[in-house]
Chains A and B, each alone.
Chain A
């Protein structure tokens, strides 16, 4: 017999022998199977698509599936003929609008130059401002294509950071600069060595 069931019943404190008796008790209530009501057929005109038949594990008496469009994506139109073109078009104009809005805003709020005298508003240019370290901006550009940069950013730091973390333990201030790159244990480079303290020497042989 199904031992699990038996065990469960025993654990619940039921008497197994009493089961047949209980099943055959005189006035037990009986469930009637539901009567087969004929489904009201949808008006054909309203039906969209063919309903799916029940899969095998669903009894037939269960209600039929609703019309497919209620749970499956409905194609309301054909795919655009040249989707790519439009996306590119949109992306381009969006980008351009954003850029233009941004630069115009900055130009309006800051100092400007103009290519045509007395027509400051026609093609406003943000005025050029000298920078004490002009090369920094030029060599470390903030490019607009951040997406690609992000993708790329992944591999590089991991490769380099492993190297970089080890450097800086020992030396004094030189280390701040050197520490990043190298492992002083492994590399014998005079620039990585610590600064020595002054010794007392007789004062300069030469010019002193």
Chain B
């Protein structure tokens, strides 16, 4: 292969699209590394603190599309203080400064300010796509900047973000010359939108294929919009309350008859179920249906709707569908691949689905491989049946609303049930468990879950052995998150090298102590070990025996981050890192300014400086990972050790 000129290699590499494959390609030899790096356009960074933007820019000068993830997953459930971090500004600022031709930006669980949105809109002439998932820190003013300045914008996709809504003028900011929109999703915006501007925008966007409206778009406007978008593939209905006999409803039916391309339906944020029959026209072609924000749709109307959806592949629903409703799904939707059943009343804790619905799904839907299931109760027998029926599960997430509830029939722990799942589902990559669970379940997981990459555990286990089984057994583990389990230092420190093969570890309300965390950080220079203590008096010279309330550790090439909140504030975060001999304030990151009060300026403080080290390589030797400041001979005459994957594997 080395006899081919570079252009030929580059052309061949163009066919290699998956990031994991491209990472592998880059590891073959130095010339391949060079060519691959210079030609790569799309990068995924699973942890924005694992690497610095400067280093990414240096390695991939042709970068056009980047995905960044910020906060740990458990931030979704309010376990991470709001000022923890995840600021995207340093990345955007670095891209702008280096004149990168950025076209696509996708962020998840990050903080992005209006200033940052404006910077994006002004810095990248070909900017085409902005996708924000579970982000915060911005308002509709930032959206206005994007709308105004990005002349070739194709995609603006806002999923479940916390957006400060300054009303709907941002929609009017799309210039009349903007006709390139393909995808527009503003379902998460809480405020009003300028309906006339919306109509005009839709009218001049012939390529629009995906449109998700928020609750402020009423039925008559929806109907007018649909008349103009006969090629729509993905529709998110906003508000759907109306009188079924009205003229508007009839017009809607007419409009829907024209929309023969709709394959994906969502929304119904406020819905009167008796009016769903208009959508029965679309149902036979639907492959994706999301009614998880429509508590008003249940009972017979819901079941009627489902019966029409014979081609459904993906279904997100609330538990008010009940076991009965799930049986209808099982008998109607033979193509179903993914289902998520969310709780409609999370606080009262009376989920309407049980193990019965789960078993029905497993037996009725042969292609089902991904499930998220919030339920009232579970039994080992059911799980064993499910495992037998559906060995093809790749993602299995079960959440019993009472997190320590045992088998509802036998009162036994659910170890055997989950054990059956991991034993049978050989391709299982993601697992979440709940219910009464002992160390035994971890023994099973360690033994059988060979492909497992991500696991979430809560209120489970008895001793350190539980966690040890996991760490010992799951060779492909990348993300481990644990809360409220009796795992301590012995488990944490059992195999410290393991954490370099993983993206991150989260442990909260467990038994690990400050001392344990410090010890780990001392041993592992490539890890950032962050401790989050939210008690009012976190004394830095605190006893090492004090428990670490929350600990988040992750491998990184960027060293300690400089944008962490000041320590020790009430929501202080402390760092332990390699240079920490004993507790001392200087070793802990402090940040100028008042982090908690001013988010906008916080982002600017977050510039990660890795500038003095111009490293474009790393190398493996002696089964360990080394970051070098001078070594320019990367890779790999020797075999790649099986557990140590390159940090750029971080990108996957």
**Do A and B come from the same complex?**
no
